[in-house]
Amino acid sequence: MADALKAMTAFGLREPKQVKIGALSIKELTDVALASVAARKGRMADLSRAAAAAGLPLPGPSTHAPGDPYSSFWVAPEMWLVEAPFASHELIADMLRAALGDGASVTEQTDAWVGFDLTADDLTALMQRLCNVDFAMAPDGHATRTVMEHLGVYLIKRGKGAARVYGPRSSAESLLHAVEAAAVALA
Amino acid sequence: MTQSHRISGGQVDRTKTVRFTFDGIPYQGHPGDTLASALLANGVRLMGRSFKYHRPRGPISSGSEEPNALVELRTGGRQEPNTRATVVELFEGLDARSQNRWPSLRFDAMGINDRFSTFFAAGFYYKTFMWPKSFWEKIYEPIIRRAAGLGSVTRQEDPDEYDKGFLHCDLLVIGAGPAGLMAALTAGRAGKRVILADEDFRLGGRLNAETHAVGQASGADWAVAAVAELAAMPNVRLMTRTTVMGAFDHGIYGAVERVSDHLPVPAKGKPRQVLWRIYAGKAILAGGATERPIAFENNDRPGVMLAGALRAYANRWGVKAGERVAVFTNNDDGLRTATDLMARGVDVVAVIDSREGGELIPGVRHLRGAEVIDSSGKLGLKTITVRQSNGKTEDIRVDALGVSGGWNPNVNVHSHHRSRPVYDAGIAAFVPGEDGPPGLSVTGAAAGVLSTHGALRTGRDAAMAALGLTGAAPDLPEAEDAPVRVSPLWFVHHGKGRAWIDQQNDVTVKDVKLAHKENFTSVEHLKRYTTLGMATDQGKTGNVLGLAVMAELTGRSIPETGTTIYRPPYTPVAMGTLAGRSRGKEFKPFRLTPSHHWAKEQGAVFVEVGNWLRTQWVPKAGETEWRQSVDREVLATRKSVGICDVTTLGKIDIQGTDAGEFLNRVYANTFSTLAVGKCRYGLMLREDGIVFDDGTTARMGENEYVMTTTTANAVTVFRHLEFCRQVLWPEMDVQLISTTEAWAQFSVAGPNARKLLEKVVDQDISDASFPYMGAANITVCGGLRARLFRISFSGELAYEIAVPTRYGDALLREMLARGAEFDPIVYGTEALGVMRIEKGHVAGGELNGQSTALNMGLGKMVSKKKDSIGMVLSQREGMVQEDGYRLVGVKPVDPKAALTAGSHFLEKGAAAVAANDGGWLTSKVYSPHLGCDIALGYLKGGDKKIGQRMRIVNLLAGLDTEVEIISPHMFDPEGERLRG
């Protein structure tokens, strides 16, 4: 945005953090813009119409719906977290507000979270050490709130060997450490 | 020493040798040995000293129920006391030591206690060490604790890691004996997700210890085949070395997996143990049964063992526990020990059967209607004294005696929700009762079904029933189905000596008799009076025996007498395992502020505020003491401009057409009148009228507000608001989300704050355009979205500026660089504290969960024109007293005198007693502007005492100082600077 101000990752770096432990790859997400979208009271129908027109999916509970440019996952009744490419959607909140009108409350959430994409052949064993989600049985696209090493996170299953984790940005180092420690214990 | 007691057979790997030491003496064993089996193989049966009397002890069992053979393992940080030698898997280089003895195991000076056993009977301490009362803590208790005990803990940090994890399954099978294996096979073949957990390192349970055939193979071989079949199923997880230690709520079971205990040192990065939380749709307890002894005089000598253990050592480990062995039994199962040992060539010199009838074992001297009444042998069994049916007594020379009093089903896990076991006279034991944990069924020996066939059958049937499986049940292999024939015998009536019941806590039949005599007859009283079952083995071999003895004494039946409550854990769990990774620096996660990396570069000192690491102060070169840094930061801010990272304050985005009314209800003061583009200080009360939190809330748009909370209450306020929104007023159109982390927010304070900000803010922020308490969405540095609030905690002309967190570090550096002409400094929480106390602003010390708005001098903020949470109860009589606590400022009459937070107000000349207490100091700092310590405090009737002199007294710190009561607004009381 402003040339004078250089963005810093949650780890105080310029480039996203990438870690490889055995078969597991951990990649920090810095190219995703996030915003929350919540229906105003009694305005769900309006929001649904506007969202459909804007190409914004509003999936049901425990679900992540991919899309272009907007993907989203359910976080609470009539509330979603929306993802979009950061480069084109840094102003995601303004863009969604314009698209959705006054039937929704929109709040920028991009820097409230640190995101990690985890990939391996199979993430089940890692998830067993990290959280109480039954990862093996969860369908692809399963999105849920859970706790990893005392930190409240969102976990999105993208396949048997792929998952996205959003945790509190200020605790990025603690969250990564928890994932790394579990991975080392399993490697 | 060679393995003199090793005999043929067993499941140890004789092709390999494992070297280990016990009390420094080297020995050899084989893979598959336990420490106990390897020591017995080497002819070592003396393994420990008892808790109270320091009696010589050896193992009585071959499993986790062991009360006697407790040893210390390893050294340094890995030293581990009170480990049962019977479950320690032998590994190369194992260093084991006996414990609770001095100077040596063979000669223990504390054995003198045994001579004075009369003095150490149950209840002795309570009766004896009563006078003088003051002696208990300093003299009696330390002496008793030194004389009695188990192993010693290391004072070093445990270098190993412990992990935790979560597992899910359709069926959890607890125990991998015949019942558990058959249950797992049934469920596994049906495609169900199964977890089969067993505490042993070899699955099979008693099948490994018996010689029965299962199908066409030996029991042990059938178990190997069953395990192989299960291991090949992707839907089955086999967990060896894993103890399911408790049943908790909602189908959750706790299990400890000993990942690395059988290794000298865990592999790098690998945990030593993992604490698993298992979410089980259904569970089957197939935990088997524990044999119980029969109490007779001196039944605790090394060499006196449970009969089932004696044959387990022979059959599984190829070890004979003695050269000349006898068996003392009241049931058929005990007879198996004699036949198995004879089959292995062990010299069985006698079978002492308390029953008159039954089958005779050929080829051995089988004494029926006889009892063992005593034993001798200083450090190990040498002779037993037998009383025959005709009353004659006879000494028989033996060095091992197998005792069987029957088998107690391991009902523990089934009883963890307080289900009471019920007595089954048919097997003379307690079996699982009703009302066990929902979804948990019990099979095999744990359910009182003691034959192999019964175990296999009930295991299969339980799995079918639990999972609702239909169709043909799996065929069962043929197996023995002998009936249980037992004639209860709990203790042998003979003589006046001691007959042990609970060997780990040295509780004898005499102790139970004494408890009975003194009317401690309820099992719960019996337990606490005698310590029966209170040792680390939780009385697995002794409890039923003890209560049966009590039943006999009281004349009540055993079912009437009942059992004590069973509680998790089933076997001891190390504290480190429960802590997992939450220890040391990893005790909790850290939260880092956006300026953390900048601050670290500057050598800042950080302070933990909740999980946050905040900059406490930023030392400059030459500053040797923290006050120098803090004073400089305060003075520089008040002189020119200072910047402080306030990202940690909670930020809550509140939107919706009812957002204004919502704020009116959650804040004590009015918010519906707040104009767009303005902030207001808000005071939030609890339902009981006590102040909950404070902060500013800005109206950023028609239906859009940003609330700021204190750092400490960020989460609790958010939770409170969600409760209000979802539960109290679900009809309101309000949406909430936390944005604490989304924005990097800095306070910019001081006379030159505006001038500095003008260097980065793209818009006009002159006093006219952006007056005091203004709020706006702005841009900085050529277009980056930002928020600006004109609010002040320091009392200076001050702003809070926020940018998306990723730009926070850059904004700070940019402000410092562009504003260099104003000599800006970055200040930490200490300077923040100094400035807010100088201004009389409340924070943690004042928002103490006991204080009202009136106490804080903010009573007028509680609007009576509208309803809000806490408003009504804040007006209770006791909370609006004229002479109640009021916030005051305090400074010492002598500027050099020190104040201490927590000190109490006293009138001059008043004695320092609670009756004269006038209140207390809540916060204290040194004010570089006033040149002395200053403080805030709550003083009774304080608003009427401004200008008076009092004392502040701190008896702990030895402080008694004359102070002047002043207005809490100690700096710029008119607020001219902040409006500048």
Domains and CATH numbers, chain B: 1-153 (3.10.20.440), 161-288+409-467 (3.50.50.60), 591-648+742-835 (3.30.1360.120), 650-738 (3.30.70.1400), 881-966 (2.40.30.110)
B197-202: average pLDDT: 98
How far is the first Cα of chain B from the last one, in angstroms, to the nearest whole number? Answer: 91
CB-based contact A105 B655, cutoff 8 Å: yes
The answer to whether residues B302 and B379 touch, using CB atoms and an 8 Å cutoff, is yes
Residues of B in contact with A173 (CB under 8 A): 590, 592
B103 preceded by cis ω (within 30°)? yes
Is the residue at A5 inside a domain? no
Work out the burial of residue B946: count CB atoms within 10 Å of its CB; fewer than 13 is exposed, 13-18 middle, 19 or more buried: middle
Rounded to whole angstroms, what are the CA distances from B784 to A130, B513, B534, B594, B779? 37, 84, 67, 16, 5
Rounded to whole angstroms, what are the CA distances from B602 to A171, B599, B621? 21, 5, 10
- Compare CB distances from A3 to B586, B704, B782 and report the shortest one's residue: B782
Which ipTM did the prediction report? Answer: 0.98
My answer on whether A77 and A143 are in the same domain is no
Rounded to whole angstroms, what are the CA distances from B289 to B189, B409, B430? 27, 4, 11
- Compare CB distances from B733 to A40, A172, A178 and report the shortest one's residue: A40
A121-131: average pLDDT: 98
State the nearest Cα–Cα gap between B763 and chain A, in angstroms: 15
Secondary structure (DSSP) of B530-567: H-TT-STTTTTTTHHHHHHHHHHHHT--HHHH------
My answer on whether A67 and A128 are in the same domain is no
The answer to whether residues B937 and B924 touch, using CB atoms and an 8 Å cutoff, is no
Rounded to whole angstroms, what are the CA distances from B396 to B40, B325, B404? 22, 10, 18
Distance CA B846, CA B691 (A): 10
State the nearest Cα–Cα gap between A170 and chain B, in angstroms: 5
CB-based contact B656 A40, cutoff 8 Å: yes
Distance CA B473, CA B464 (A): 7
CATH, residue A170: 3.30.1360.120
Neighbours of A42 (CB within 10 A): 10
Residues of B in contact with A8 (CB under 8 A): 594, 597, 806-810
CB-based contact A134 B279, cutoff 8 Å: yes
What is the domain count for chain A? Answer: 2
Any CB–CB contact under 8 A between A147 and chain B?
no
Q: Considering only alpha carbons, which residue of chain B is nearest residue A169?
A: B741
* Strand, coil or helix: B237: strand
CATH, residue A40: 3.30.70.1520
Is the residue at A9 inside a domain? no
| Amino acid symbol at A111 | D
Confidence of residue B39 (pLDDT cuts 50, 70, 90): very high
Phi, psi for residue B559 in degrees, rounded to 5: -60, -35
* Strand, coil or helix: B612: strand
State the nearest Cα–Cα gap between B629 and chain A, in angstroms: 26
pLDDT of residue B927: 97
pLDDT tens digit sequence for B743-799: 999 999 999 999 999 999 999 999 999 999 999 999 999 999 999 999 999 999 999
pLDDT of residue B116: 79
Q: What percent of chain A has pLDDT over 70?
A: 98
Distance CA B21, CA B73 (A): 10
My answer on whether A70 and A133 are in the same domain is no
CB-based contact B270 A112, cutoff 8 Å: no
- How far does CA B281 lie from the centroid of its chain? 25
CB-based contact B590 A109, cutoff 8 Å: no
pLDDT tens digit sequence for B440-480: 999 999 999 999 999 999 999 999 999 999 999 999 999 99
Antiparallel, parallel or unpaired: β A18-21 and A24-29: antiparallel
The answer to whether residues A127 and B164 touch, using CB atoms and an 8 Å cutoff, is no
pLDDT tens digit sequence for B710-723: 999 999 999 999 99
B271-291: average pLDDT: 98
Is the residue at A87 inside a domain? yes
Confidence of residue A3 (pLDDT cuts 50, 70, 90): low
A8-27: average pLDDT: 97
CB-based contact A109 B732, cutoff 8 Å: no
Residues of A in contact with B647 (CB under 8 A): 170
- Compare CB distances from B783 to A1, A10, A102 and report the shortest one's residue: A1
Residues making up chain A, counted from first to last: 187
My answer on whether A78 and A126 are in the same domain is no
Q: Considering only alpha carbons, which residue of chain B is nearest residue A92?
A: B785
Distance CA A12, CA B600 (A): 11
CB-based contact B805 A169, cutoff 8 Å: yes
CB-based contact B582 A150, cutoff 8 Å: yes
A86 Cβ neighbours under 8 A, 6+ residues apart: A30, A31, A32, A33, A110
pLDDT of residue B958: 93
pLDDT of residue A183: 96
pLDDT tens digit sequence for B473-523: 999 999 999 999 999 999 999 988 999 999 999 999 999 999 999 999 999
Residues of A in contact with B806 (CB under 8 A): 7-10, 30, 110-111
How many inter-chain contacts (A to B, CB under 8 Å) are there? 157
Distance CA B902, CA B919 (A): 9
My answer on whether A142 and A173 are in the same domain is yes
Which phi-psi region, left, alpha or beta, contains residue A98 (left: φ > 0; alpha: ψ -120 to 50)?
Answer: alpha
Is the residue at A13 inside a domain? no
State the nearest Cα–Cα gap between B653 and chain A, in angstroms: 7
My answer on whether A90 and A104 are in the same domain is yes
Rounded to whole angstroms, what are the CA distances from B489 to B405, B486, B517, B681, B711? 7, 9, 22, 79, 67
Summary mean pLDDT of chain B: 95
CB-based contact A1 B806, cutoff 8 Å: no
Which of A108, A126, A148 is the C-terminal boundary of a domain? A108
Is the residue at A83 inside a domain? yes
Does the pLDDT value for residue B148 go beyond 90? Answer: no
My answer on whether A51 and A67 are in the same domain is yes
Secondary structure (DSSP) of B322-360: -SEEEEEESBHHHHHHHHHHHHTT-EEEEEEES-SSSPP
Which of A91, A108, A125 is the C-terminal boundary of a domain? A108
Which of A58, A73, A108 is the C-terminal boundary of a domain? A108
* Strand, coil or helix: B785: strand
Distance CA B406, CA B490 (A): 10
My answer on whether A52 and A26 are in the same domain is no
Residues 62-91 of A with CB under 8 A from B: 79, 91
Q: Considering only alpha carbons, which residue of chain A is nearest residue B589?
A: A174
State the nearest Cα–Cα gap between B261 and chain A, in angstroms: 15
Q: Considering only alpha carbons, which residue of chain B is nearest residue A36?
A: B737
Distance CA B58, CA B39 (A): 10
The answer to whether residues B925 and B933 touch, using CB atoms and an 8 Å cutoff, is yes
My answer on whether A85 and A101 are in the same domain is yes
pLDDT of residue B952: 97
Distance CA B108, CA B46 (A): 12
Confidence of residue B217 (pLDDT cuts 50, 70, 90): very high
Is the residue at A154 inside a domain? yes
Secondary structure (DSSP) of A22-86: TTEEEEEE-SEEEEEEEEPTT-HHHHHHHHHHHT-----TTBEE--SS-EEEEEETTEEEEEEEH
How far is the first Cα of chain A from the last one, in angstroms, to the nearest whole number? Answer: 41
pLDDT of residue B424: 97
Distance CA B904, CA B916 (A): 10
- Compare CB distances from B781 to A5, A12, A137 and report the shortest one's residue: A5
Least confident of B11-15, B76-80, B354-358, B777-781: B354-358
Question: Any idea which residue has 């005698």 for tokens?
Answer: B530
Q: Considering only alpha carbons, which residue of chain A is nearest residue B744?
A: A111
Question: Any idea which residue has 């289900």 for tokens?
Answer: B419
B569 preceded by cis ω (within 30°)? yes
- The parent domain of residue A162 ranges over 18-30+113-186
Neighbours of B38 (CB within 10 A): 28
My answer on whether A166 and A121 are in the same domain is yes
Work out the burial of residue B313: count CB atoms within 10 Å of its CB; fewer than 13 is exposed, 13-18 middle, 19 or more buried: buried
My answer on whether A93 and A147 are in the same domain is no
pLDDT of residue B820: 98
State the nearest Cα–Cα gap between A67 and chain B, in angstroms: 24
- Compare CB distances from B589 to A102, A136, A149 and report the shortest one's residue: A149
CB-based contact A41 B733, cutoff 8 Å: yes
Does the pLDDT value for residue B430 go beyond 70? Answer: yes
CB-based contact B781 A174, cutoff 8 Å: no
Does the pLDDT value for residue B851 go beyond 60? Answer: yes
B10-15: average pLDDT: 96
CB-based contact A112 B588, cutoff 8 Å: no
Distance CA B94, CA B20 (A): 5
The answer to whether residues A157 and A120 touch, using CB atoms and an 8 Å cutoff, is no
Of B284, B257, B222, B623, the residue nearest B439 (C-alpha) = B284
State the nearest Cα–Cα gap between A53 and chain B, in angstroms: 22
Element (H, E) at B514: helix B509-517
Neighbours of B621 (CB within 10 A): 5
The answer to whether residues B825 and B952 touch, using CB atoms and an 8 Å cutoff, is no
State the nearest Cα–Cα gap between A134 and chain B, in angstroms: 6
Q: Considering only alpha carbons, which residue of chain A is nearest residue B593?
A: A170
State the nearest Cα–Cα gap between B760 and chain A, in angstroms: 10
The answer to whether residues B26 and B43 touch, using CB atoms and an 8 Å cutoff, is no
Q: Considering only alpha carbons, which residue of chain B is nearest residue A21?
A: B269
Is the residue at A171 inside a domain? yes
Q: Considering only alpha carbons, which residue of chain A is nearest residue B704?
A: A105
My answer on whether A136 and A95 are in the same domain is no
